[in-house]
Chain A
Amino acid sequence: MAQIVSIHSFRGGTGKSNVTANLAALLAAEGKRVGVIDADIQSPGIHVLFALDASEVRHALNDYLWGHCEIAQTAHDVTHRLSTAIPGGVFLIPSSLKSGEIARILREGYDVSRLNDGFQSLIASLALDVLFIDTHPGLNEETLLSIAISDTLVILLRPDQQDYQGTGVTVEVARRLEVPRLMVMVNKVPAVFDAADVKARVEQTYGCEVVAVLPHDEDMMALASGGIFALRSPDHPIALTLKRVATTILPAYP
Chain B
Amino acid sequence: MPASILVVDDEPDLELLIGQKFRHQIRQREFHFAFAGDGLEALTVLQTEPTFDLVLTDINMPRMDGLTLLGHLSAINPVLKAVVITAYGDMNNIRTAMHRGAYDFLTKPIDFDDLAATIHRALEHVQQYLQVVAQLTEAAAAVERGMFTPASLDDITCNSGELGRLARVFQRMVQEVQVRERQLQQQVQALRIEIDQHRQARQVQEVTDSDYFRHLQQVAQALRSRAASQRAPQREP
Contacts and interface: CB of A to CB of B under 8 A. Distances in A.
Are A and B subunits of one complex? Answer: yes
Interface in A167-193: 168-169, 172-173, 176-180, 190, 192-193
Contacts of B20: none
A202 interface: yes
Interface in A132-186: 139, 141, 144-145, 148-149, 151, 159-161, 164-165, 168-169, 172-173, 176-180
Contacts of A161: 190, 194
A201 interface: yes
Contact of B196 (A165, A177, A192, A205): A165
Interface in B207-224: 207-208, 212-213, 216-217, 219-221, 223-224
A204 to B, nearest CB: 8
A120 to B, nearest CB: 8
B207 to A, nearest CB: 5
Interface residues of B, number: 27
Nearest to A175: B204
Nearest to B231: A1
B188 interface: yes
A193 B207 contact: no
Given A144-B207, A173-B208, A201 B193 contact: yes
Contact of B216 (A144, A198, A205): A144
A176 B184 contact: no
A-side interface size class: 20 to 34
The 8 closest A-B pairs by CB, nearest first: A148-B220, A148-B216, A169-B203, A192-B184, A172-B204, A205-B193, A168-B200, A164-B193
Interface of A: 1, 113, 116, 139, 141, 144-145, 148-149, 151, 159-161, 164-165, 168-169, 172-173, 176-180, 190, 192-193, 197-198, 201-202, 205
10 contacts: A141-B212, A144-B216, A165-B199, A172-B200, A172-B204, A176-B217, A178-B220, A190-B187, A192-B184, A202-B193
